[in-house]
A = this chain, B = another copy of it.
Amino acid sequence: MKILIKGANVLQPDYSTGVADIAITDDVIAAVGEVPGDFAADYIIEGKDHFAVPGLVNAHTHASMTLLRSYADDMELMDWLNNKIWPIEGKMVEKDIRVGAKLALVEMVKGGTTAYADMYGPCMESVAEETIKAGVRGILSRGLIGFAPTAMKSLAENVDLYKNYHGAGDGLISILLGVHAPYTCPPDFCKAAAKVSAEHGINVHIHMSETQDEIRQMQEKYGKRPFQYIAETGLFDRPSIAAHCVWLDDADIAMMKEKAITPVHNPGSNMKLASGVAPVPKLLAEGVHVALGTDGASSNNNLDMLEEIRLTAMLHKVHELNPLAVPAAEALRMGTEYGAEALWLEKTGRLQAGWKADIVLYDMNRPEWCPRHDLVSLLVYSANSGSADTVLCNGKVLMEKGELKTLDEEKILREANACAMDLVNRG
């Protein structure tokens, strides 16, 4: 299949922009700019007045949790978890997981997200199946609460998920080990998980150093900060992504650089849950390629990666009282190329020949895109995800002119609302 995107304003790898054609052959960008004369397109997408950027990468979320969007907000963290979130999560069955993931996929594709790292469960096979059907890249893991009585069973499920789905969907799916967090996973469990990850070569997805309380708890209980605690169980001997990373000291940052641990910044969730402000400018200055994520829709409350990119560019400026803290282009790179790197997606996150055809076109015929002095600034500081108009992933058109091609939006929204109401009222 050969697709030609004609005359779009294209974000180049150096973050300059200019009008160009993009030629796509199967899953790969064949050319940007000078399309070979013998390129015979099967399908043409008109790019005029559109801004083409790499597909956005959501490097940390809990997709099925989207069913709980707006179910509980503006509460103290432990009250919210103990009395609202965990009890209702305990009632979720396969249907909820599947329908929640479908709702998340609709929202993500409509917002220009083409790859996401998920941690949830049970029944992650259903999430994998729906992700393949949607045509999105899913880097999935079974969330593992180490102190739960069923922890070892869940760990085995995660391994089965890896065996059955790693590389599935023509490479769209990969599987990580979803060790939840230092404060929910005791040493024996972490060691068991580390053993499994080494044995099978499964990379790790974990929450790290999200709140001050977590740091204090770990120090009280083990006399160690979370990074040191997890490292000593052997888990960080595998490449890992670490969500949040809000409260870091120099030793934590040194460890991230020494081992292959990529932090995933979740500004929306960190703001809403009042977790704190991660030291992102410092990490970037030290050469760490910080990725971005939305976290789950209970703590954000959407899966809008463009909003996370904007919050990243805005929050650190005011936090450090430095208007240069994270420039627009750097924030956009975090939400695209750095995210793809973090998730071990090869040649993904740039519009460049030989790279994967994961592309979003934003419709600029809107007041917030006017006037067009600087397209990167417009995207990051002014536009919202509603202008994402056409989305390709792995060379396949997932949305064109706002219409989803692989997902039945109307049906899924109806189903998700009914499913969520049933879940809330379930005895």
Q: Which residues of A contact B (CB under 8 A)?
A: 67-71, 73-77, 80, 103, 106-107, 110, 212, 268, 270-277, 297, 300-302, 304, 307, 311, 313-315, 317-318, 320-325, 327-328, 365-368, 370-375, 377-378, 381-387, 409-410, 412-413, 416-417, 419-421, 424
Contacts and interface: CB of A to CB of B under 8 A. Distances in A.
Contact of A323 (B273, B325, B378, B413): B273
A424 B365 CA distance: 21
Contacts of A417: 370-372
A107 to B, nearest CB: 4
Within the oligomer, what is the number of copies of this chain?
Answer: 2
A252 to B, nearest CB: 19
B323 A274 contact: yes
A382 B276 contact: no
Nearest to A416: B370
A266 to B, nearest CB: 11
A74 B326 CA distance: 8
Interface of A, helix, strand, loop or mixed by DSSP: helix
B381 A271 contact: no
A385 B384 contact: yes
A106 to B, nearest CB: 5
A302 B373 contact: no
Residue with the highest number of chain B CB atoms closer than 10 Å, among A302, A324, A327: A302
A73 B377 contact: yes
5 contacts: A69-B378, A70-B382, A74-B323, A301-B378, A366-B413
Given A70-B381, A328-B74, A417-B372, A367 B409 contact: yes
A69 B382 contact: yes
A367 B106 contact: yes
